[in-house]
Amino acid sequence: MAMRDARREPPDRDRQPGATDSQHGQQVEAERDRNATLPAERDRAPERIQMASDQPSHPEGALQAASPSDVAEPIVVENTLWTAASPNAYGGNQPASITHLRELDVEDKSDNARWSGALEIIPTKADYVLDLIRANSLWPLLSGLACCAIEMMSAATSRNDMDRFGMFPFRASPRQADVLIVAGTLTTKMAGPLVRLWEQMPEPKWCVAMGDCTCSGGRYKRSYAVVEGIDRIMPVDVYVPGCPPRPEGLIYGMLKLQQLIIERRGHWPDRQVGPSVPAGV
């Protein structure tokens, strides 16, 4: 998660050359020009505006590098070891020449919560490790809509004790949670707040539909007030049918979710919203 903080406040790259001597600045600039493949970046590079804030605040020469060779260039190691199965995975095949988090700003803001772009150059299978960590510390959101919520609580307490499998105690705030267990009947009045909850959760996030009501409308399918399945308004990763499912059923679903997180590396930005239950069922 420290990664994302860094991304939000990227260290100011352009300020660095100003602090060193101008010759080296140009050298860095030329180097980057060669590497840069993104058009936006190339256009921006030649005419750097020297704002007041770009000037060094310390006296001339105080922090200068002794010689140009003292300033280390970032080491670029291309990822030649493996490729993602989906072309859209890991930031949509960003060129591996991006060397700084700042340069990620030119891509669109959608966050697929991968170590994409710059960090793809790390020639380890960091994603495996990350997914393993994520899968084994799921933090579900404490949000019950109806009857199924009682069984969800039962799954989390003494008798069934979901904590055993690395699903942490329920969080009350969507901003701290990464699994939304929708437990209970979703009515049209509640649909708006539920989508809002889902959007408030930070990526990466997963959704578990618990109970017949959330899978397809269940026993209230023909009611005038009920959404026939939450997959009409949000993507769903795991369906746990039953009215209500037993707590063991929910735990089984969560174990499946863990498996899915580990196996579906990088694919889950492709999730679709829309009914996966055939019409007329």
Q: Name the site residues for other proteins (rule: CB under 8 A).
A: 142-147, 149-151, 153-154, 157-160, 169-170, 172, 174, 184-185, 187-197, 219-220, 222-227, 232-233, 243-244, 246, 272-275
Look at residue 249 and give the partner it binds from other proteins, ligand SF4, none, a contact being a CB closer than 5 to 8 Å depending on partner kind: none
All residues at 6 or more sequence positions from 131 whose CB lies less than 8 Å from its CB, including other chains: 261, 262, 265
In angstroms, the CA 93 to CA 114 distance is: 12
Q: In whole angstroms, what is the distance from residue 55 CA to residue 48 CA?
A: 12
- Given 17, 117, 140, 184, the residue binding ligand SF4 (CB under 6 A): 184
* Smallest distance, ligand SF4 to C-beta of residue 214, A: 7
CB-based contacts of 170, cutoff 8 Å, min separation 6:
139, 140, 141, 142, 156, 177
Could you give the CA distance from residue 241 to residue 277 in angstroms, rounded to a whole number?
Answer: 12
Is residue 180 helix, strand or coil? Answer: strand
Pick what 157 binds: ligand SF4, other proteins, none; C-beta below 5 to 8 Å, kind-dependent.
other proteins
Q: Which does 233 bind (CB under 5 to 8 A by kind): ligand SF4, other proteins, none?
A: other proteins
Judged by CB under 6 A, how many residues of this single chain contact ligand SF4?
A: 12
CB 162 within 8 A of CB 138: no
| C-beta of 27 vs 154, nearer to other proteins | 154
- Structure token pair of residue 199: 């959007």
Least distance CB 235 / other proteins (angstroms): 9
Classify the C-alpha dihedral 64-66-67-68 as positive or negative.
negative
- The residue among 68 and 192 lying less far from other proteins, judged by its C-beta, is 192
At position 219, the amino acid (one-letter code) is R
Cα distances (angstroms) measured from residue 141 to each of 22, 197, 240: 53, 9, 16
Q: Is 213 in the site for ligand SF4 (CB under 6 A)?
A: yes
Contact between 247 and 201 (Cβ < 8 Å): no
Which residue in 235, 244, 253, 269 binds ligand SF4 (CB under 6 A)?
244
Q: Is 147 in the site for ligand SF4 (CB under 6 A)?
A: yes
To which H or E segment does residue 210 belong?
strand 206-210
Could you tell which of other proteins, ligand SF4, none binds residue 193, using a CB distance below 5 to 8 A set by kind?
Answer: other proteins
Dist CA 44 CA 166 (whole Å): 47
Of 194 and 209, which has the nearer Cβ to other proteins?
A: 194
Can residue 269 be called a binding residue for ligand SF4 (CB under 6 A)?
no
Least separation in angstroms between CB 148 and ligand SF4: 3
Residue ranges that bind ligand SF4, judged by CB under 6 A: 146-148, 184-185, 211-213, 218-219, 243-244
